[in-house]
Structure formats: structure tokens, C-alpha cells
Amino acid sequence: MPSSRDVVFVDGVRTPFGRSGPKGLYAETRADDLVVRVIRELVRRNPNLPPERVDEVAIAATTQIGDQGLTIGRSAAVLAGLPKTVPGYAIDRMCAGAMTAVTTVAGGIAFGAYDVAIAGGVEHMGRHPMGEGVDPNPRFLSEKLVDPSALVMGMTAENLHDRYPTISKQRADAYAVLSQEKAAKAYADGKIQPDLVPTAIRTAEKGWGLAVEDEAPRPGTTMEGLSGLKTPFRPHGHVTAGNSSGINDGATGCVVAAAEVAEELGLAPKMRLVSYAFAGVDPEVMGVGPIPSTEKALRLAGLGISDIGLFEINEAFAVQVLAFLEHFGLADDDARVNAYGGAIAYGHPLASSGVRLMTQLARQFGERPDVRYGITTMCVGMGMGGTVIWENLA
């Protein structure tokens, strides 16, 4: 029986995230081409990694049809020019797709089945709106297995405001303003650009172009500006387009490897995987998912929340981050949380976001040798949470 091996995160990149829709960056760009761009960039940036040494390509997509179908991990690997000997597969855990791609190949590496793998995700929500082509079993509602609101993410966020009456719309808006400010500062300080892959785009109207930065951030967002936004999920509600992530297109990818193999190849890993956990919660309050998954991951690692020096929490909705912070006794503006801003600014192309969190954490680890442990965590549609704990190798 092989003994378990240490798993390390070597490098992560992503395309700039676009706004979905007919005017968005990637309106006329295929989803699989976004993944190809990411895989090729990972190979280019890591010349010590012979492409034939990649043992697996795991790519997540929530809507696995059209240009996001056809076992996208394999098809994108072939399109990216990896040797035909490199296998691949597709994975789906809604928002936590890329995160699950990483934890799944990490398990294979720890077990000894793989030495090196590429893991990531893509979501082209312009081409494939959330829920396109799905056919929920009528028993979900007829047998009251879930509340009808469970299938609409914005309504689950309103439900979370009900469960946490201390989290007002004003607190959610203030958190959203802070996320936009942090993202603007991260861009100004050049923290985001090193891990963005310039991506060719084309429209019939304008011809060829290059996407070099995220399209979604709204620097200069104010409380006043947010206060007047509609609450589409409930009259006089709390959840608006301003305190939620947008509807976006984009792809992410990373190289993960066995620590000893990374050393043998001369790769420079940024962080070590300590533990991970997924947990289920009531689907109608899916935003609380990161709480039990984080408790479980901490327990598995033998750590407490006070051991964590940096947090990357996916900002599907401000209320969901605030619920997490409130549960663990952290301040709304804790400097350890989403230091570069989050999905409220950058966007959330569902299955790709998990690796964006990891890439941003790895970049922060490099700047903060004083921090030993960090967390990437997110809520997941249908009532789940996912958490990965990482150790800083800087």
C-alpha cells in the first residue's frame, strides 16, 4: 500500500473574468478555448515541467453541455497541445467545481496514482446561463425535500439574512464597497496582473482584441450608489446586484504535484495542502456551507481558527461572507480576509472560482512569510460548503 505524500500547489493562472452577455468580453469566444489558454500558459510559465509528465487534467464546469461539454478536461488537454498520452476528465460541484478538481487530483497524488496534475474550471455564463438544460426532479418540491427558494441562489441569500438578523443590508453594502476598494488597490499595486493570462477575443463587429484585465470591477462604488439598487429576490429585501457577485465568464487552472516530484523537476511550489473538507447544509441556506466545511477541515488539520493568518472566501453574496465571519468571531473588515478583494468585484464564473481563491492566496503567501496557514473556502449551490487549508512555503 503506498504511503501518503505531501501535495503542493505549484502555480495558478486565470483568464481575465468577463461580464456575461452580448456585450461581454467573451461573448463570441468559446468556453473550451478559455481553458486551452490557461493550460498553455501553465506549461509556458513552468518550463521545468515536461508536458508528458502531466498525469491528469481535471476541469470543472457547472453546465456541462455545448462548448463546456465533451469531457472538457480531456478535450481541452488535446486542444492545448498536451501529449495525447495525458488523460483528462470533467467534474461538477457547481461553484466549488475547480476547488473539487484540485482536491480530487490531490487525493490521487497523495495516494501515488499521479505525480503532477493540472486542475481548474471554466464557466461561460453568457453562453450557458446557470441552470440551462437542467430538469430538477419534481419530488424536490412535491415531497418538500427542499424549500422552493433553494433553487434560486439570490433567494437563498435572502434566507440567510433572515437567519442572521444582525446582518443588515447596510452591513452587506459596506462589505461590498470594501471588496471593490481592495480589488482596485490590488490592481493599482500590481498584485492581480501577474496571474492573468492575456486572452484573445473576437467579435464580428470589432474584430480581434485582447482581454488583459477583469471587466467586472466597479472602482469608486459608494454606499450611496448601492443603497438605491433594486432587491430583485424579495420586495424590500437585502440582496442586490451590488452586494452579490456578478454573472461572469472565465477560466482558471493550476499545477499541483507531489512535493518530492516538484523538487525533482525543479518546480517552485508556493503552498502545501494541509487538509480539505466538504459539508452539506440545508439547500435553502446554502450560504452557511463554508462554516461546517471549515470546522471540519480545521479539525482534520488539528488547527483552530486563530491559527489561520489569511482567508480567501468566495463572495457569492456579502451576507454569506458576513455569516462566516460572525460565526468565527471575525470583524467585517478583518485585514486577513480577502486582502485583494473578492468575487463581488472580480466576478464569479461558477466552476472556475475555487482556483482564483487559491491563486490569490498563493500570491499573498509570497508577500507574507510571517503567515503560516491560509484558507480557501466557498459556499456551493444545493446546500454545500468547501474548504481547503494551505501551509505557506515562503
Q: What is the pLDDT of residues 240-254, one digit of tens each?
A: 999 999 999 999 999
Q: Inform me whether the pLDDT recorded for 220 exceeds 60.
A: yes
pLDDT value of position 192: 98
Percentage, residues of the chain above pLDDT 90: 95
Q: Inform me whether the pLDDT recorded for 40 exceeds 80.
A: yes
pLDDT band at 199 (very low <50, low <70, confident <90, very high): very high
- The answer to which of 26-30, 149-153, 181-185, 249-253 has the lowest mean pLDDT is 149-153
- Could you give the count of Cα atoms lying within 13 Å of 132 in the half-sphere of its Cβ? 16
pLDDT value of position 42: 98
pLDDT band at 1 (very low <50, low <70, confident <90, very high): low
Check residues 1 and 25 and name the one with the higher pLDDT: 25
Q: How far is CA 237 from the centre of its chain?
A: 26
User: What region, left, alpha or beta, does residue 94 occupy, with left being phi > 0 and alpha being psi -120 to 50 degrees?
Assistant: left
Query: Which has the closest alpha carbon to 155: 286, 67, 20, 351?
Result: 286
- Could you give the count of Cα atoms lying within 13 Å of 311 in the half-sphere of its Cβ? 27
The overall average pLDDT reported for the chain is: 96
* Kind of pairing between the strands at 207-211 and 18-19: unpaired
Q: Inform me whether the pLDDT recorded for 94 exceeds 70.
A: yes
pLDDT value of position 100: 98
Instruction: Report the catalytic residues.
Output: 95, 348, 379
pLDDT in tens, 308-340: 999 999 999 999 999 999 999 999 999 999 999
Helical ranges in the chain per DSSP H? 31-45, 72-79, 97-111, 139-142, 153-163, 169-188, 223-227, 259-265, 290-301, 318-327, 343-346, 353-367
Which are the contacts of 115, defined by CB distance < 8 A and separation ≥ 6? 53, 55, 109, 257, 258, 261
Judge whether 245 and 350 are in contact, CB under 8 Å. no
pLDDT value of position 2: 58
pLDDT band at 119 (very low <50, low <70, confident <90, very high): very high
Check residues 351 and 394 and name the one with the higher pLDDT: 351
Mean pLDDT, rounded, for 372-382: 97
Q: Inform me whether the pLDDT recorded for 178 exceeds 90.
A: yes
Q: Tell if the pTM clears 0.85, that is, is over it.
A: yes
